[in-house]
Structure 1
């Protein structure tokens, strides 16, 4: 007796009116965002071309920022070299301070902290990560900078013989280190959350195997978790 396989059944999914309306709204929102982004990019490119036409490539290499005189005898001269270097220095300081601390906090939360402490700290980190950068800037300008002036004066007084800590008095409150420290505080919870998610995906069988071979907890972190997080 022969057995005949039944023909595959084709499932037809009919979209309702609400699904079509929702799909149209989402598509319109996505297209609107792309159009706005394209207009902003086009405006920046158009206006930026005038800078290259007037100053050329020296706009990126010059540190001058002088406006033209009212009579026009002294031409304008602008350059963003100092701003670019300052931004890179601040970013480097922030990464240098935040990344090691964030990785340590992520390891502690994922593998060392008790569950109650972990849930509380994770909630606090998520709350801090949601603070707008404008609030961080206001806090740094009104609170961090005045306190940092005392640190700068102490370092300059006791360690001023070393060039790194020799700071002129007028700029005690403003330095790339203070800005980098503020930026490090801002990116620390974000890096911690990302690192914690990565470390949580470490292969559990390798962790158990390391424990079975007699490795300590830190040895397991160093041999299994940290290499996986790279």
Structure 2
């Protein structure tokens, strides 16, 4: 009996250890690969901005195709060859340097709630700071989207339901190029339903882009840009 109890405790401990470590974010790699010995590895983004937030049911910004979408607004101050975006939920064990925090994050940072992330990277037709105040009438173009990524840590459920995308600028296409301007991260769940839990969203670039800011609302974005 003691032996069985020991095995049970060991199994539970190993499961807990796996769950804790499953949510640990690794270096955010770009699409650029370098061969190190016999292994190809993605070159890490040199510039990464982190946003920690909490999504609550019935606080969505928009309903599209029956799904409740939430947005995080992003100001990109210069032309970029590529942008990477990733999201993980929950965010309770995430450690990041100088993260931007949503106003409801700290109050919910210990929550075990999480959701199956589905992300979009969208670009607006707003290209100057002065135009941002008129964002309510902006036109938005979806540049890329992702549901599940095998590169991301598994969620506490054991499933690979966190998201990651990389988007290379299409210089010859005015609406698909990564220029200076207002962007947004859209997120929801793959299945229709409520979005509930903490999350970490990161935007990375292979070149330095001083002045990138992220915020849940346009007013908060403008306040950060002052």
Kindly indicate whether structure 1 or structure 2 has the higher relative contact order, using CA contacts under 8 Å at least 6 residues apart: 2
**Structure number having the greater helix percentage:** 1
Q: So what's the TM-score if we normalise by structure 1? A: 0.21
Q: So what's the TM-score if we normalise by structure 2? A: 0.21
**Structure number having the greater strand percentage:** 2
